[in-house]
Amino acid sequence: MACQPARSLHARAARHAALNMIAKAGKKDACAALIVGHGLIGGSLRARLREVAELPVVCIGRRHRELPNYRALDLASETGRAALDKVVADLHPRCVVLAHGPSDVTWIDQNEAAAAAVHCGVAAIVARSAAPAVVISTDNVFSGTRGGCRPGDPAEPANGYGRVKARAESIALAGEAALVLRVSLVYGWHRPGQRATFAQRCLEAAAEGRPVDAPTDQLFTPIHVRDVSVVTAAVCRSGGQLTGIKHLAGPSELSRYEFARLAYRLAGADTTLVRPCLRQETEWACRPRFSSLTCGTFSGLPGLAKWRPMTPEEGLREMLATWPTGRASPQSRGQRPWQEAASLAARRAGEL
C-alpha cells in the first residue's frame, strides 16, 4: 500500500476521534451544547451546564484532558478547524458557545493575522452551520475613550485583539441565530497551568505579602466568571431566544488600582503594597483607557428573573471563600476571618 501524506492521516484521525466523541455524547436528538474553549469561561460554563443537567455537553479545548465528551483540537491549524467543522455538522448542537483563545491581548497585538485565522475561521464554521451560537467577545472592540459602552455604540477597536474580535463578531452575526456577548474584565480562579486572572494575581500576592503594581488609568467593569457562566448557560437553554449583541459586565466601574486595593483589603493585607502606576509602564500598555461596559438585562432568560451581577466586593469575597486547596491563603497566614466570605458564597449558590 502506498504511503499517505502525513496531513491526510492526521485529518482522518481527527475525523475518526470526533465521530467517536459524538457517539459517546449521546444521540443526535439529545441536542447537546457545544463549548469551543476550555479556559476560564469555557471551563466554568461546562461545569454550570452539567449542574443544571438539562443539556448534554460536548467541549473542545486546546490541551489534552481526561474529561467526558471532551476533545483536544488545535484550532490554530487547518486540520483542527476541519475537525471542528465535522463535529458541528454531525452533532447538530442546540447551541454553540465560542469561548476559545487566543485571548492574550499583548500577544495578539504582535500576532494579529494568526489570531484572526483562529477567531474568524471558527466563527465562519459556526455561521455556516446555522446552529444557534454565542460568541464571547470583548470590550476591546471600542476605542476606549469613554466608559459605559452600549451595544449600539460604534465599534472602533484600538488594538489587534479588538480588531480580530470585531471581525469575528460580524462573521458570526451573518449567520442565522447568533448572539455576541461582550464581557468586561472577567475574573475568578484559573486552573493550574493557565494564565491567572488579575484578581487571582492580586489575592495571591496579598496572601504572600508581596507588592503589586496596578494602573490608575485603566478602568473596567469587572465581572465574576460565575456570572458569565450563569448567563451563558441560560442563553444555551433558551435555544436561540437572544440574538444580536448584548453586554455582560459588573455593576461598578473602577480602575485596576482600585480593584487591587479592594482585593488586598478583603484579604486582610496591607493596601499600601498596591503601588499606583500608569498602564504604559505595564503589560497593559496596549489596552484602552476605558474597558467598561453597561450591562444589559437578561431577566427573560430561564432562571434569571432575579439575577444580578456580583459587585467587585462580592466577587472577590467569593474567590476568598473558594480558595483552591494546596495554595497559601490569607486564612493560613491568619490575616482574616473567612466565615463571612464563606457565608456569602453559600447564599449566592443558593440563589442560582
The answer to whether the beta carbons of residues 335 and 268 sit under 8 Å apart is yes
Over residues 215-236, the pLDDT tens digits come to 999 999 999 999 999 999 999 9
| Per-residue pLDDT tens over the stretch 301-328 | 999 999 999 999 999 999 999 999 866 6
Indicate whether 289 pLDDT > 80.
Answer: yes
| Distance separating alpha carbons of residues 337 and 352, to the nearest angstrom | 25
Q: What does the pLDDT read at residue 332? A: 56
Single pTM value for the model = 0.86
Question: Distance (Å, rounded) from C-alpha 262 to C-alpha 287?
Answer: 21
What pLDDT was estimated at residue 334?
55
Q: Tell me what pLDDT residue 327 has.
A: 65
Please give the pLDDT value at position 192: 79
Residue 180 cell numbers, joined: 455576541
pLDDT at 30: 47
Per-residue H/E/C for the chain: CCCCCHHHHHHHHHHHHHHHHHHHHCCHHHCCEEEECCCHHHHHHHHHHHHHCCCCEEEEECCCCCCCCEEECCCCCHHHHHHHHHHHHHHCCCEEEECCCCCCHHHHHHCHHHHHHHHHHHHHHHHHHCCCEEEEEEHHHCCCCCCCECCCCCCCCCCHHHHHHHHHHHHHHCCCCEEEEEECCEECCCCCCCCCCHHHHHHHHHHHCCCEEEECCCEECCEEHHHHHHHHHHHHHHCCCCCEEEEECCCCCEEHHHHHHHHHHHCCCCHHHEEEECHHHCCCCCCCCEECECCCCCCCCCCCCCCCCCCHHHHHHHHHHCCCCCCCCCCCCCCCCCHHHHHHHHHHHHHC
- Measured in residues, the chain has a length of 352
pLDDT digits (tens, 9 = 90+) for 99-133: 999 999 999 999 999 999 999 999 999 999 999 99
Q: Say if residue 171's pLDDT is above 60.
A: yes
pLDDT digits (tens, 9 = 90+) for 198-212: 999 999 999 999 999
Residue 139 has pLDDT above 50, yes or no: yes
Q: Is the dihedral of CA 51, 177, 118, 157 positive or negative?
A: negative
